[in-house]
Amino acid sequence: MGDIMVARVYDVAALPRGRRFLVERLWPRGVRRADLQLEDWLRDVAPSAELRRWFAHDPERWSEFRRRYAAELDAVPGAWQPLLDAARSDTVVLLYSARDREHNSALALRDYLLDRR
């Protein structure tokens, strides 16, 4: 069983090895596609625009964000199942662009996936 890791796209030099998936709805500013060596860009696994705006990376909303995001993910298993399938045999790296390294959708997604292993 492979691992599921998260990494910030702006840390290009320190990106871990593995199958890399961008899990953002919008392409990160100033990042070239070639620099990321992506397996795929999974827009549909990212939180909805409405949920992202509501959360606004407010740590006090983190628990509620995770709950709402999990509900969104429950409704679209086809969006996240490829990540779980890839993690069965390889290390999967979920790439995100948020500044906050402790409260971001990639971390919430990783925990969601780990709960479904």
Q: What are the tens digits of pLDDT across the range 49-104?
A: 999 999 999 999 999 999 999 999 999 999 999 999 999 999 999 999 999 999 99
What's the domain range around 67? 4-115
Q: Tell me the Cα Rg of the chain.
A: 13
pTM for this prediction: 0.94
What angle (nearest 5°) sits at the alpha carbon of residue 40, between those of residues 82 and 34? 160
Helix ranges (H only) for 2-48 are 33-36
Give me the number of domains the chain comprises: 1
Report how far residue 43's alpha carbon sits from residue 64's, in angstroms, rounded to the nearest whole number: 22
